[in-house]
Structure 1
Amino acid sequence: RVGDVVRFFDLDGGKARGERLVGKITFIQKVIGKEADQWLADVKVLEDTGDGYYAEYPSYKRKEYVRKLEEISPISAAFVRTEQAYKVPLSKGTEEVVVR
């Protein structure tokens, strides 16, 4: 859904598997194709502020990606007002974002 926080990969991150990014869905659209229809999502990147917090910044600072819906994974995130950021659960030891 629009407004959901998701994890996705960007292959320009310099790593073999790509860079893991956390973002927020801003728009979802259906693209009708010759063979099959597909769903695309516009995802704006959230800034990693540390300790599992990811903040939204004004749109001129954030990158936006268009991804197929099956390429993104939903994350359980809660907005923390005092930090003005989303708190995302991290796995113990590896500090990787945990998907739902």
Structure 2
Amino acid sequence: MCNATGTAIPTVMIDNDRVRVTEWRFKKRGDNTGWHRHAYDYIVVPQFDGILEIDLGNGERTTATLQKGVPYYRDLGVEHDVINGNDFECAFIEIELLEPRPT
């Protein structure tokens, strides 16, 4: 993820030529990643059961229901702000695939 400036706490766990693994921790409802655009394909592994609100810009918001340990994949280029929609602390692991896609 690019250098977003939200209130969620990023902790980079692995960062090498192939992957970057970051834990994103949201201490309370409303904590957010900050507006950002993904430069790499990525996988998210939720560490909780609950929801995240996704601000897509232009006043458009959606809600994603997540299950602990059930990953999802997104292509690069996604632009959004991720917001904790729960009344509890939550976190997810983001795995960015730094190598280009095979052609």
Which bracket does the TM-score occupy, shorter chain normalised? under 0.3
Bigger share in strand: 2
| TM superposition score normalised by structure 1 | 0.27
Q: Normalized per residue, which structure has more helix?
A: 1
